Amino acid sequence: MKHVIAAAATMVFACSASAQSSVLLYGVVDLGINYTNNAQTARLGATPTGHSQVFMGDGTITGLSGSRWGLRGSEALGNGLTAVFVLENGFFANNGALAQGGAGFGRQVYVGLQGAFGNITLGRQYDPMLDYLQPLTVTGQWAGSMGAHADDVDNLSNTNRVNNAIKFRSVAYSGFSWEGLYSFGGVAGQPTQNQIWSLGAGYSGSWLTVGLGYLNARNPNVSFYGNTPNKGSSAANNIGSFGLATAGESIPAYAGFASAETLSIAGAAFRITVGDAQVGAVATRTQFDSLGSQSGPNPLRYSGDVAFNSFEINGSYRITPALQVGAGVNYTRRGSVNGDDGARYQQAELGTVYSLSTRTDLYAMCVYQHASGRDSLGQAAVATINGFSPSARDKQIAMRVAVRHKF
């Protein structure tokens, strides 16, 4: 029997070698305990009510890494050309439910070709701006999704992916590389309706990393915010609710701008590394243009354009090879719309990650936010830390302690 098993294993290896192909199963499980004060539970008239909240949460919502499993494969085609694919499912480890609105492979799924020219891939993918800027933010380093800027207004925490996309990534030339993406709108007779396009570029050297990016989405309520199975029609608010008398608000920082014709996000970031220390900065501008021109709800009858400007400074230090600590501050300001005084979100983050092994780590994070002005729903702005229930007041603190395992 041993000889039969050995022969079968040899045949499988020989077939794999002759085809020069491979398939890798990989994944992450990230689960922890979250705490926040003033979690909004009801809005009675004009007065919200809130209480402290403790809950178990997956990394998808508030942590370092959304739980996932995936398959990544390649096949050598000859003449330096390789076929590649990725199927990546997201799930909530606390209850086993599908993440990304219930999509089977909601994190990403694509197929393409790789060669000396770079990579060309087709499918549901990350946009180039995210690829180049997220690794330079607190979100992409040690603070996780809860460290995102005001409800992740600039998408640097990867809240939204891009469907129906063709993407090109160049090879690196002396540390420089670039990417381009185009998502087909698919509307007959209106080729630009629901389209998304994005560009990114960057440099990675021994001590300096730089990232630049831009994303433009037409009818973003459908094309960008409404591209998962749990979203509604074009007439629904796919960003978030406008407020209910018996429930907390959802994404109050910008949910009121679902009627925009175009969403544009531009950003730049850098990081300097000196020994075990790193320091960096991120700046983004998120703009909703031509409010009231699309079918998304617009009960406040907004018109014109409105923009968010966000600035972040971050740093980290590796105390030992296994222990890293980090800190950051962020200021996000929304300009006036329909004559209001805009909104301001000031935020500070602290985090630490301790590696038990190359695949398992423990981490802890704390985020504090203070809001002022008027939010997009026409109400007094409340603190709204990404992934947590918005606060009932203008201040909020959130904490997370978790374990993450990679395989």
Residue 245's pLDDT is 46
Neighbours of 187 (CB within 10 A): 15
Neighbours of 393 (CB within 10 A): 16
Question: Tens digits of per-residue pLDDT, 108-128?
Answer: 999 999 999 999 999 999 999
Residue 12's pLDDT is 41
Residue 204's pLDDT is 98
What's the alpha-carbon Rg for the chain, to the nearest Å? 22
Residue 266 contacts by C-beta under 8 Å, 6 or more apart in sequence? 129, 213, 214, 215, 284, 285
Residue 190's pLDDT is 84
Residue 7's pLDDT is 46
Domain range annotation of the chain: 60-322
| Tokens read off for 96 | 């086993």
Residue 46's pLDDT is 54
CATH code linked to domain 60-322: 2.40.160.10
Residue 24's pLDDT is 98
Q: Are strands 118-125 and 108-115 parallel, antiparallel or unpaired?
A: antiparallel
**Regions of the chain where pLDDT drops below 70:** 1-19, 42-48, 243-249
Task: Measure the CA–CA gap between 107 and 104, rounded to whole angstroms.
Answer: 9
Task: Measure the CA–CA gap between 179 and 130, rounded to whole angstroms.
Answer: 11
| Partners of 396 in the β-ladder | 369
Residue 242's pLDDT is 73
Residue 389 region by backbone torsions, left for phi larger than 0, else alpha for psi between -120 and 50, else beta: beta
| Partners of 401 in the β-ladder | 33, 364
Nearest to 102 by CA among 94, 113, 92, 87: 92
